[in-house]
Amino acid sequence: MTIQKMALIGTGVMGMGIAQIAAQAGVEVRLFDAKPGAAEQGLEKLKVTLHKLAAKGKLTEQQLVDTLARLIILESIEEVAGVDLVVEAIIENLEIKQTLFKQLERIVAEETILVSNTSSLSVTSIASACQHQGRIAGFHFFNPVPLMKIVEVIAGLATDEQVVVDLLDLATAWDFGCPD
């Protein structure tokens, strides 16, 4: 599966780091946060970072423009429909994550991959609340995401093998910790 559009739920430091590397890699990133104004704040901070990178010559002007154009703030979670991947980067609370994943299942297509950036919760436990557990995995980045070029792909007990392969391919395409 080729990931061309993703949604990022949770626009704190981790979420925006993930958004940055995805947008720089050419993926359209739809940003959503349940806290009013949080996605706008996250995007403003990321714009500052990207402009600094451009000023240092680490991004061309065209790369800056293209990256910013790929970052889209959503007004409602229902707008995540139509993406290939949803990355959750919210509070480390099992019940909240399970509720979010159940909600996402009602919105996105059945083939959409749903991942959690969790560092401490069981992917199997998160997926247990869902009907289509095979498409759920962990995709754990390290902070600061753009500098720590490593990501863990974590399968739950029910995660489909192809989901793991797709995430490993994506990590490789983003140049994240996948040796040849």
**Mean per-residue pLDDT for 82-100?**
97
Q: Which domain holds residue 104?
A: 5-173
Q: In sequence order, what DSSP letters do the residues of 39-63 get, joined into one string?
A: HHHHHHHHHHHHHHHHHTTSS-HHH
Q: What is the DSSP string of 70-89?
A: TEEE-SSGGGGTT-SEEEE-
Q: What's the pLDDT tens digit per position in 128-177?
A: 999 999 999 999 999 999 888 889 999 999 999 999 999 999 999 998 75
Whether 178 is covered by a domain: the verdict is: no
How far, in Å, CA of 29 to CA of 23, rounded? Answer: 6
The pLDDT, as a whole number, for residue 149 is 86
* Residue 179, domain member (yes or no): no
Domain containing residue 12: CATH number: 3.40.50.720
Backbone angles phi, psi at 50, to 5 degrees: -65, -40
What share of the chain has pLDDT > 90, as a percent?
Answer: 89
Query: Domain for residue 57, yes or no?
Result: yes
If one counts the domains in the chain, the total is 1
pLDDT recorded at residue 176:
74
Give the long-range contacts of residues 163-168, CB within 8 A, separation 24 or more.
Answer: 163/113, 163/134, 163/135, 163/136, 163/137, 164/137, 166/1, 166/3, 166/113, 167/113, 167/115, 167/137, 167/139
**Over pLDDT 70: what percentage of the chain?**
97
What's the mean pLDDT when you consider all of the chain?
95
> Residue 13 corresponds to which tokens in the numbers above?
């430091």
The sheet carrying 5-9 orders its strands as 71-73, 28-32, 5-9, 85-88, 113-116, 136-141, 151-155
pLDDT of residue 177: 55
Contact 42, 15 (CB under 8 A): yes
Residue 180, pLDDT score: 44
Residue 82 predicted with pLDDT over 60: yes
Question: Is 22 inside a domain boundary?
Answer: yes
pLDDT single digits (tens) 25-41: 999 999 999 999 999 99
Q: How many CB atoms lie within 10 A of CB 91?
A: 9
Residue 21 covered by a domain: yes
Whether 180 is in a domain gets the answer no
